[in-house]
Amino acid sequence: MTTEPTIAWRDGAVELIDQTRLPAELVSLRLTTVPGVIDAIQRLSVRGAPAIGVTGAYGVALAAAASDPRTDPAAFAAAVAALRSARPTAVNLARMVDRVAGAALAAAGDGAEAALAEAHRVRDEEREASRAMGERGADLVLDLVGRTPVRAMTICNTGALATVERGTALAVIQTLYERGVLAEAIAMETRPLLQGARLTAWELGRMGAPHRLAVDGAGPFLLARGAADVVLIGADRVAANGDTANKIGSYSLALGAARAEVPFLVVAPESTVDMATSGGDQIEIEDRGPAEVVAWGGVATAPPGTAAVNPAFDVTPVDLITALVTDRRVVRFDQGETLASASPQEL
């Protein structure tokens, strides 16, 4: 686990761990402008839906400090629009940017002060959500698996680096480990940017949890051979029908889990549930271009001029998802529950 928050506000600036430098270096970025925040989001210095949402919230605080929402509304609106569109798939970014911008515009007094106070609330809510998801998820895993210790498989990075503290799916694994019932976590490397190898393995190592790393293509085969008791993923957006957008490779794991009759759980905060998007076919999937596919670390891995398709996310249909775990509820899709029928509980 990280020894400092992934994202913090200090002396008028957003400070965050630069995830592009991990695992070789633990380096913090200090962001004082909206363009700096947008750049950090787009080049994946900060990533993970909740973390992007918190960063965007603080970006609005910077925008309100630079351009008073009442005396310079055009400049403030332009900054807000640029922030909310920095990455399209994760719903948290646009949602939290709009929320903090609304607080700034509605303020009777200082809009910048109101924006910062609301951004702090966003951060604190995500922090509490991570703890709640870890507990709810661990309880559900133990109920579904029915024995201990548990072997868990996961993809991408869903730990503190993807939120503020603890995480989403990795918070469940951390809670299982803290309860003494985790046999092993198997992390998928997560191509093409290796978030599982660079970040999840780093967090599991700092946590002290037993773990192994596997190439993405091995996941379904390992499930078929009984290597894991449960698959845990995060989410960048959960549609109203339960279809879930997450890091590319999640759909393959869901297919493998269904074939192997292994529970497949999505763990994400309520802030990632988007009831305005009816199904997965309406989720915009970001393509990050060929550069990440045809080269790694500045070294070409494909012949010059090779074209590539590079979807950053895929969509897992709800019929392949056993349950959704949020900070406020568990929705058992396998038992016919829906997001509309399973009401969130108060924290």
- List pLDDT tens digits, range 96-106: 999 999 999 99
Q: Give me the pLDDT at residue 88, please.
A: 83
Q: Give me the pLDDT at residue 2, please.
A: 47
Catalytic residue positions, numbered? 236
Structure tokens at 275: 């009831």
Provide the mean pLDDT of the chain.
94
Q: What does the CA dihedral 297, 191, 92, 40 come to, rounded to 10 degrees?
A: 0
Q: Give the global pTM.
A: 0.90
% of the chain at pLDDT higher than 70: 98
- Domains of the chain, residue spans: 7-125, 130-335
Confidence of residue 108 (pLDDT cuts 50, 70, 90): confident
- Which are the contacts of 125, defined by CB distance < 8 A and separation ≥ 6? 271
Confidence of residue 225 (pLDDT cuts 50, 70, 90): very high
Residue with tokens 């990280």: 2
Q: Quick check: 186 pLDDT over 90?
A: yes
Contact 201, 159 (CB under 8 A): no
Q: Note the pLDDT tens digit of each residue in 114-130.
A: 999 999 999 999 999 99
Q: Give me the pLDDT at residue 335, please.
A: 97
Q: Quick check: 170 pLDDT over 60?
A: yes
Confidence of residue 33 (pLDDT cuts 50, 70, 90): very high
Q: How far is CA 11 from the centre of its chain?
A: 26
Whole-number Å distance between alpha carbons of 114 and 61:
8
Tell me, letter by letter, the H, E, C secondary structure of 254-269.
HHHHHHHCCCEEEECC
Residue 294's CB: how many other CB atoms inside 10 A? Answer: 18
Q: Where are the beta strands (DSSP E) in the chain?
A: 7-10, 13-17, 28-31, 150-154, 182-188, 211-214, 230-233, 237-239, 244-247, 264-267, 273-274, 295-296, 299-300, 313-316, 323-325, 330-331
Please tell me the CATH code under which domain 130-335 is placed.
Answer: 3.40.50.10470
Contact 263, 323 (CB under 8 A): yes
Structure tokens at 28: 């913090």
Q: Note the pLDDT tens digit of each residue in 246-299.
A: 999 999 999 999 999 999 999 999 989 999 999 999 999 999 999 999 999 889
Q: Please, which residues bridge with residue 295 across strands? A: 300
Q: Quick check: 1 pLDDT over 70?
A: no
Residue with tokens 């922030």: 83
Q: Beta strands 273-274 and 237-239: pairing type?
A: parallel
Q: Quick check: 232 pLDDT over 80?
A: yes
Structure tokens at 65: 């400090």
Q: Quick check: 223 pLDDT over 70?
A: yes
Q: Note the pLDDT tens digit of each residue in 316-334.
A: 999 999 999 999 999 999 9
| Fold designation for 7-125 | Four Helix Bundle (Hemerythrin (Met), subunit A) (1.20.120)
Contact 41, 56 (CB under 8 A): yes
Contact 261, 144 (CB under 8 A): no
Contact 4, 161 (CB under 8 A): no
CA atoms within 13 A on the CB side of 229: 20
Confidence of residue 346 (pLDDT cuts 50, 70, 90): low
Structure tokens at 260: 């192997």
CA atoms within 13 A on the CB side of 200: 34
- pLDDT average, residue stretch 147-157: 97
- pLDDT average, residue stretch 173-201: 97
% of the chain at pLDDT higher than 90: 90
Q: Quick check: 153 pLDDT over 60?
A: yes
Q: Give me the pLDDT at residue 14, please.
A: 96
